[in-house]
Amino acid sequence: MARAVSKKKVAVVTVIAWIVALIIFFPILYTIITSFKSESEAITGFNLIPSGTLESYAAVEAQSGYFKFFLNSVVLSLGSTLIALLIGVPAAWSMAFAPSNRTKDILMWMLSTKMMPAVAVLVPFYLMFRDLGLLDSRVGLTVMLTMINLPIVIWMLYTYFREIPGEILEAARMDGATLWGEVVYVLTPMAVPGIASTMLLNIILAWNEAFWTLRLTTTNAAPLTTFIASFSSPQGLFWAKLSAASTLAIAPILIMGWFSQKQLVRGLTFGAVK
């Protein structure tokens, strides 16, 4: 009896979950559908079945060259993730294994920077970038993306490292492991899943970042967010082309997310269930 009820409950929850997921995913789906329509089709109203034309894609590629933006996106997201990990791993490490009285405060402070609206510091950053000649440069934007995602990287890694019991490291030390041996044979194997999911999430966040990438670039360092934006304002409302551009922009990250979703979910819920 109790079992039947719980089965029913599971079914209800499953249906609700599917509806919610569909609502969340629908805009993306509709964007993809629209990208396969002609411009006239796209403005005629709600329609789930496209004609299947690729003319929008051809037009988009011919107009602005997808590949250049794609390359910038790759360089920016991978570059900023790599630097964030280089800084974040040792930082999280020392906070997890050699905390001081102020570790908690530092973590809170880092988190608080994420609560500040980015636009509040737009002007100072813009001026700094202008004076340093970093506007529309890959270096400048990589630094920017590193800075905005570093708090999240450190927080995630910190929670991961905290899960590694200190006694295991002490055991390794007693067993004669040098610092190097400790890192290679014990720490890294235990921390790899955490570092990997942090890396994946950070790549996604950096790839999707649209505030600073739109404001600090024009052409040279512009990633795919700029590529999408360039189809919205200056040329009027070309829905099909805009959708094609968006689809092209989100496709790589969607594919990556699909293949790494297990890792990502584990990473994001790690430490929450124990």
Question: Would you tell me which residues interact with other proteins (CB under 8 A)?
Answer: 165, 167-168, 170-178, 181, 185-186, 189-190
CB 197 within 8 A of CB 268: yes
Indicate the SS3 state at residue 28: helix
CB 121 within 8 A of CB 156: no
Smallest distance, other proteins to C-beta of residue 164, A: 9
Structure tokens belonging to residue 162: 């905290």
Contacts of 157 (CB under 8 A, 6+ apart): 88, 89, 91, 92, 93, 194, 195, 198
Smallest distance, other proteins to C-beta of residue 212, A: 39
Nearer to other proteins, 173 or 215 (CB): 173
Smallest distance, other proteins to C-beta of residue 216, A: 42
Nearer to other proteins, 107 or 177 (CB): 177
Nearer to other proteins, 131 or 167 (CB): 167
Nearer to other proteins, 96 or 206 (CB): 96
Q: CA-CA distance, 106 to 81, in Å (whole number)? A: 21
Smallest distance, other proteins to C-beta of residue 190, A: 6
Structure tokens belonging to residue 206: 């950096």
Smallest distance, other proteins to C-beta of residue 223, A: 37
* Torsional sign, CA 49, 255, 250, 200: positive
Smallest distance, other proteins to C-beta of residue 99, A: 13
> Distance of CA 144 to CAs 121, 198, 219, Å?
12, 18, 17
Q: CA-CA distance, 78 to 205, in Å (whole number)? A: 11
Contacts of 259 (CB under 8 A, 6+ apart): none
Nearer to other proteins, 137 or 263 (CB): 263
Q: CA-CA distance, 74 to 67, in Å (whole number)? A: 10
Nearer to other proteins, 184 or 237 (CB): 184
Nearer to other proteins, 27 or 165 (CB): 165
Smallest distance, other proteins to C-beta of residue 171, A: 4
